[in-house]
């Protein structure tokens, strides 16, 4: 069970450090793993402030190459050096606004695993795809390509997390129902079972994301196929994120 907050493009380095200091006592007793995915510029300060606590630090993206002429990009080693242990890969906003594809997601997954960063791989269908009845096909394709040439040992030893985030539920206040979220997380687990065996599939953390709030988190996380959440808007409020992490 892992609950991760995705801050997106919010908070200066100083605001970020002040925020996590407020958050530390609120999640100190959480049974779930707690992660905050902060802007690159906040990584060193936040990682320093969280040393010795149960909160882990994530970046929100990385480049798949190790270094070179990629203006504005950031490498896995840079993230590690700045204090990140996790990295979000293939968030729908990256896919939608920055041209990320299943293929770049796959490259990034390999880069993250090789560097010892835990990937949180995001997948999810659009509203149109759900209406067309192709949700399972879309999500299976995304997960299958994201994990191409990732072996079963690497899958488990990396701690790789899959986040199911229906695009129509992100930032819209339209949460998937518990049943819808559980069903698709089950589809993902079924695919992992086909690829890696049922035993391995059981061990992979599959999160739900999309308008998770302090009031709906408990029910969502109680569903059998849902192993936690990736939380956007509500992760920017320490009280709300505290409730969610403890749910």
In angstroms, rounded to a whole number, what is the distance separating the alpha carbons of residues 232 and 189?
23
Minimum CB separation from ligand PGA for residue 145, in Å?
Answer: 20
Smaller CB separation from ligand PGA, 165 or 227: 165
* List 91, 93, 125, 129, catalytic entry: 91
CB 108 within 8 A of CB 62: yes
Smaller CB separation from ligand PGA, 147 or 234: 234
| E runs forming strands in 49-91 | 55-59, 86-89
Minimum CB separation from ligand PGA for residue 45, in Å?
Answer: 22
- Rg of the Cα trace of the chain? 17
For the window 185-214, what string marks contact with ligand PGA as x by the rule CB under 6 A?
Answer: ------------------------xxxx--
| Cβ-based neighbour number of residue 36 at 10 Å | 27
Active site residue 165: yes
Element (H, E) at 181: helix 178-196
Minimum CB separation from ligand PGA for residue 62, in Å?
Answer: 17
CB 225 within 8 A of CB 8: no
11 sits in the region (left: phi over 0; alpha: psi -120 to 50; else beta) called left
* List 93, 125, 129, 165, catalytic entry: 165
What's the token pair of residue 171?
Answer: 């930032």
For the window 6-35, what string marks contact with ligand PGA as x by the rule CB under 6 A?
Answer: x-----------------------------
Active site residue 110: no
State the residue number with the nearest CB to ligand PGA: 232
CB 189 within 8 A of CB 149: no
Q: Which of 45, 90, 232, 242 binds ligand PGA (CB under 6 A)?
A: 232
Q: Which residues of 183-201 are buried (b: 16+ CB within 10 A; e: fewer)?
A: bbbbbbbebbeebbeeeeb
Minimum CB separation from ligand PGA for residue 168, in Å?
Answer: 10
Relative orientation angle of helices 43-50 and 13-27, to the nearest 10 degrees: 30
Q: Does 87 bind ligand PGA (CB under 6 A)?
A: no
Minimum CB separation from ligand PGA for residue 67, in Å?
Answer: 28
CB 120 within 8 A of CB 4: yes
What's the token pair of residue 100?
Answer: 């990320």
For the window 161-190, what string marks contact with ligand PGA as x by the rule CB under 6 A?
Answer: ----x----xx-------------------
Q: Does 125 bind ligand PGA (CB under 6 A)?
A: no
Supply the residues annotated as catalytic: 91, 165
Applying CB under 6 A, the residues found at the interface with ligand PGA are: 6, 165, 170-171, 209-212, 230-234
């Amino acid at each position: 069970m892992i609950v991760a907050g995705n801050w997106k493009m919010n908070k200066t380095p100083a605001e970020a450090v002040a925020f996590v200091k407020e958050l530390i006592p609120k999640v100190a007793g959480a049974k779930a793993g707690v992660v905050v995915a902060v802007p690159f510029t906040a990584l060193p300060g936040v990682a320093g402030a969280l040393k010795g606590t149960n909160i882990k630090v994530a970046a929100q993206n990385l480049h798949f190459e190790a270094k070179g002429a990629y203006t504005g990009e950031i490498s896995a080693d840079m993230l590690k050096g700045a204090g990140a242990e996790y990295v979000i890969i293939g968030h729908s906003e990256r896919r939608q606004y920055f041209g990320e594809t299943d293929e770049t997601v796959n490259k990034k997954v390999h880069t993250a695993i090789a560097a010892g960063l835990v990937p949180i791989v995001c997948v999810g269908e659009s509203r149109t795809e759900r209406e067309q009845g192709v949700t399972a096909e879309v999500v299976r394709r995304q997960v299958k390509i994201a994990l191409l040439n990732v072996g079963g040992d690497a899958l488990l030893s990396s701690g790789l997390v899959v986040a199911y985030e229906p695009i129509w539920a992100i930032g819209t206040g339209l949460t998937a129902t518990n049943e819808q979220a559980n069903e698709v997380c089950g589809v993902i687990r079924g695919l992992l079972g086909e690829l890696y065996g049922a035993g391995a599939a059981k061990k992979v953390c599959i999160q739900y994301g999309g308008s998770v709030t302090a009031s709906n988190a408990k029910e969502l996380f109680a569903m059998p196929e849902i192993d936690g959440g990736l939380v956007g808007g509500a992760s920017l409020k320490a009280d709300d994120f505290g409730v969610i992490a403890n749910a």
